[in-house]
Structure 1
Amino acid sequence: MANRVDDDGRPMRTGTWVTASAHIITAVIGSGVLSLAWAIAQLGWVAGPATLIIFSLITLFTSTLLADAYRHPDPVTGQRNYTYMDAVRAHLGGLKVRFCGVAQYSNLVGVTVGYTITASISMEMVRGSKCFHGKDKCHASTTLDMVVFGCIQLILCQVPNFHNLSRLSILAAVMSLTYSLIGLGLSIVKVASGTKLNEGGETRTTSATVSEAQRLWRIFQAIGDIAFAYAYSTVLIEIQDTLKSSPAENKTMKRASLVGISTTTIFYLLCGCVGYAAFGEDAPGDLLSGTGFNHPVWLLNVANVCVAIHLIGAYQVFAQPIFSFVETSCRQRWPEVKFVSTDHQITIPFLGGMSFHVNWFRVVWRSAYVAVTTVLAMVLPFFNVFLGLIGAVSFWPLTVYFPIEMYIARAKIPKFSVSWMCLQALSFVCLLISLIAAAGSVEGLVQSLKTYHPFKNEA
């Protein structure tokens, strides 16, 4: 009988570049793609696509560095790092580990809240399609849809770990490509039907109804939206930990990153640019929302169903590292507490003796997490602003700073050498970009809160 455990004694990993690419596409082509037409509308025809390409190249470069951090000290034969924090601990240590933990898990919580918001909007689009795509103005709340989404996650969050999510991620990746293609197709039809391309400035919107200050804040927020669209470095190590060891995990992960990021960048450019061409300066924050396309209603419903299904899977991709971190920490701290450390086998009647293992701490903790993120989504249902803030806050530390610092430590690059200065310059520029984008998103959040009434949001 074949050995069913890996070199570290854990269950045999079976992931390939295909499953890793699916995880990446599921994580990257998320709700962010729906806001890219709006983001490019703020930046213009030159700066918008250029910003997308620059972010994709930076993400591809740093993901390559991060893939080599999975094992330490040797990237092929060294000891495994199961999480992003483990990699930082092995390569850097000290206070940087805590900084990484705060940045990573705050980002993951924010993403799961953001995905709850986005999925509920799409669900409401389907449920109220006659209203949203008709002549009457809608006054509908997404609260019920958030509750439904949360109930679905209550069930799925009991999936033990990342290794059991490959099929869900593949389905989610297919859904993300489907609704992206629908949005792209509808935009092309709109342009072909006679809509004129935006004739405004090259670097910003020129609408007379927007003040100079608002234009600047929107540009900053758009940069945050694009940063969010490439936010997958947070879970890269966790994805890499699902790969089989032959060929080497870092080699497979680099291939998966190239496939995943290239695929998503092509979709981003198409959806963002064609969406901007279709709507001009009036590009909606959510391309498939009621302020976007109106017909055909059935196709829009299909697209929004795909969005909801995709985000059901994407939520799990970002939530599983949180679950794993908390549960591992608790088992290490209280190994003698059976409620935390013991799994109970439960047999399902009438199914041929089929059984599964239940850990009551996992049930309680994960259910509580889903409940909290659902309530937070109800309190802060601001799509564009929320995504921009998450992207801005997490982009520099997780996508740029830590991968570069770990590479410098691993390669023993001397301070003030040409390579060291180039890498530090890249990190500093990305820090400035993150600060600018965060400022724009915070300002947008403040403006949204001025007119917001909790639990009475318009979908």
Structure 2
Amino acid sequence: MSTKAAALEVSVEAGNGRDGAWLDDDGRPRRTGTVWTASAHIITAVIGSGVLSLAWAIAQLGWAAGPAVMLLFAFVIYYTSTLLAECYRSGGDPVAGKRNYTYMDAVRASLGGAKVRLCGAIQYANLFGVAIGYTIAASISMLAIKRADCFHAKGHRNPCRSSSNPYMILFGVAEVVFSQIPDFDQIWWLSIVAAVMSFTYSAIGLALGVMQTVANGGFRGSLTGVAVGAGVTSAQKIFRSLQAFGNIAFAYSYAIILIEIQDTIKAPPPSEAKVMKKATMISVATTTVFYMLCGCMGYAAFGDDAPDNLLTGFGFYEPFWLLDIANAAIVVHLVGAYQVFCQPLFAFVEKWAAATWPDSAFISREVRLGPFVLSVFRLTWRTAFVALTTVTAMLLPFFGDVVGLLGAVSFWPLTVYFPVEMYIVQHGVRRGSTRWACLQTLSAACLFVSVAAAAGSIADVIDALKVYRPFSG
């Protein structure tokens, strides 16, 4: 009997015996997630260090368009997330329908065919890109701690140059350790710690923005943002505005892991969809408040000169210890966010390997180290994955621009198109009806945004390539 068949038999027998209380309706260990753990996962995924670049984004768009775009996309993300949450169970029954464990499973159940492969390619390529982007972002914050201390000791005119490569390696080592956590359901504590850290550095960025605004004697900036002239060409204004539009839109995006988060929620009542919708409402509302405060106060403090990162761009130099705390919080947050995004990718590869080689001792073998049980395959493959993302980050330190491009490409299909199409199929929305027309209009508008943001990101990548030096740090 194969390992897979034996595991299935054990699950069935357990479900029929006294251990049935510890299993869900699908024979898997009982899920324990709540609206609060789901909210923590979402906030960890959404409030990345990108929140600190929103001041720059608003500077490109100005006081009129910046906050308006932020509110618009908060609504879009919330709405499409509620559509996607209803796709967790198939068959039209929100309580007893068949579970979809991953985003790809949901697409397979509702749409099938080539769309499943397209979804998987976009989703996992984006997750890989995010892992590289987070490695770069964490190293920048670690380097900023060293530079802040250097500026304090030697003065602000000292270049205080240093390489980020050692910090990328340090971050990679930490991720190798945390990547051995078996599955998504067991990283809830890491998500809560990461969510607390995101509030910490966002609050510090906000406080520093308020202090700078008070010191300036009022708000800076204009209704239309950075003006053409004084070193900014018309083309640069257009491309930067498109990139800013994209930055705000993608700052909210977490659809690629929504189904995986929903699969951690304990069984009904209430239904997982209701719990997920509530968690989405809490999370999107919370992140929007923080985004508005940090972005707007950062722009108010620096106006058109807002740095692309409030805490690492050194718009602020003092108090240096507060900058150290904020950047340390960013690093801790990114350690957790890396896991939130990569666990679905880890699970996909391990599930595929187990199905492809069910009798392989390498795949199934486990080693006990004191109280810990490690899977040999999990240790090997996840370590190799982290090593690959770390080396790529060192090789392409401007890869954040490429990640922005990946985000632009993935925003429309994963956040809007697939949720809308799956909702139409599951709820039998009649083609040509008013609801169908509204959903398709929303999808078309978001496609336009994705294409425009991709154009802005490509322009940034081209600029970065002009001064590219491998392993430059």
1:222 and 2:232 equivalent? no
In the alignment, is the contact (CA less than 8 A) between 1:42 and 1:219 conserved in 2? yes
In the aligned structure 2, how far is the partner of 1:434 from the partner of 1:284?
24
Selected match of 2:235 from 204, 213, 221:
213
Residue by residue over 1:171-217, the C-alpha shift from the partner in whole angstroms, topping out at 9 and shown as x without a partner, is: 00000000000000000000001255334452654452110101111
In the alignment, is the contact (CA less than 8 A) between 1:75 and 1:250 conserved in 2? yes
In the alignment, is the contact (CA less than 8 A) between 1:285 and 1:384 conserved in 2? no
2:57 counterpart letter in structure 1 = A
1:385 and 2:436 equivalent? no
2:462 maps to 446
Which shifted more, 297-306 or 273-282?
Answer: 273-282
SS at match of 1:193: helix
1:106 and 2:129 equivalent? no
1:79 and 2:124 equivalent? no
Alignment of 1:338-353 (within 5 A): 338-340=361-363, 342-348=364-370
1:118 and 2:137 equivalent? yes
Alignment of 1:195-210 (within 5 A): 196-202=218-224, 204-206=226-228, 208-210=230-232
1:372 maps to 388
Selected match of 1:190 from 212, 215, 239:
212
Q: C-alpha displacement at 1:290, in angstroms?
A: 4.0
1:58 maps to 76
1:306 and 2:329 equivalent? yes
Q: C-alpha displacement at 1:419, in angstroms?
A: 1.0
Selected match of 2:38 from 1, 20, 44:
20
In the aligned structure 2, how far is the partner of 1:205 from the partner of 1:454?
34
In the aligned structure 1, how far is the partner of 2:243 from the partner of 2:347?
32
Residue by residue over 1:45-91, the C-alpha shift from the partner in whole angstroms, topping out at 9 and shown as x without a partner, is: 11111111111100000000011100001222200000000000001
Alignment of 1:19-58 (within 5 A): 19-58=37-76
Selected match of 1:91 from 85, 110, 114:
110
In the alignment, is the contact (CA less than 8 A) between 2:194 and 2:332 conserved in 1? yes
* Structure 1: tracts of 5 or more residues without a match: 349-353
In the aligned structure 2, how far is the partner of 1:227 from the partner of 1:110?
17
Residues 132 and 393 of structure 1, relative CA distance in 2, 3 Å threshold: farther
1:420 and 2:442 equivalent? no
Residue by residue over 1:290-334, the C-alpha shift from the partner in whole angstroms, topping out at 9 and shown as x without a partner, is: 432111000000000000000000000001000000000111111
In the alignment, is the contact (CA less than 8 A) between 1:118 and 1:383 conserved in 2? no
- TM-score, reference length from structure 2: 0.92
Selected match of 1:161 from 177, 183, 194:
183
Q: C-alpha displacement at 1:17, in angstroms?
A: 0.3
SS at match of 2:73: helix
Which shifted more, 265-274 or 284-293?
Answer: 284-293
Residue by residue over 1:212-239, the C-alpha shift from the partner in whole angstroms, topping out at 9 and shown as x without a partner, is: 1011110111122112211211100000
In the alignment, is the contact (CA less than 8 A) between 2:367 and 2:376 conserved in 1? no
2:256 maps to 234
Paired residue total: 450
1:262 and 2:292 equivalent? no
SS at match of 2:368: strand
In the aligned structure 1, how far is the partner of 2:226 from the partner of 2:146?
35
In the aligned structure 2, how far is the partner of 1:172 from the partner of 1:115?
13
Which shifted more, 413-422 or 293-302?
Answer: 413-422
In the aligned structure 2, how far is the partner of 1:34 from the partner of 1:174?
16
SS at match of 1:244: coil
SS at match of 2:216: coil
In the alignment, is the contact (CA less than 8 A) between 1:63 and 1:257 conserved in 2? yes
Q: C-alpha displacement at 1:255, in angstroms?
A: 0.4
Residue by residue over 1:411-450, the C-alpha shift from the partner in whole angstroms, topping out at 9 and shown as x without a partner, is: 1111111111111111011001000000100111110121
Residues 78 and 391 of structure 1, relative CA distance in 2, 3 Å threshold: same
Residue by residue over 1:112-152, the C-alpha shift from the partner in whole angstroms, topping out at 9 and shown as x without a partner, is: 11111111100111133233553211322111100000000
In the alignment, is the contact (CA less than 8 A) between 1:285 and 1:383 conserved in 2? no
In the aligned structure 2, how far is the partner of 1:450 from the partner of 1:345?
48
2:13 maps to none
Residues 271 and 205 of structure 1, relative CA distance in 2, 3 Å threshold: farther
* Structure 2: tracts of 5 or more residues without a match: 1-17
Q: C-alpha displacement at 1:279, in angstroms?
A: 0.9
2:14 maps to none
1:106 counterpart letter in structure 2 = A
Residues 18 and 222 of structure 1, relative CA distance in 2, 3 Å threshold: same
1:249 and 2:268 equivalent? no
Aligned residues with identical type, % of pairs: 54
Residue by residue over 1:398-420, the C-alpha shift from the partner in whole angstroms, topping out at 9 and shown as x without a partner, is: 11001000000011111111111
Selected match of 1:319 from 342, 351, 354:
342
1:295 counterpart letter in structure 2 = E
1:86 counterpart letter in structure 2 = D
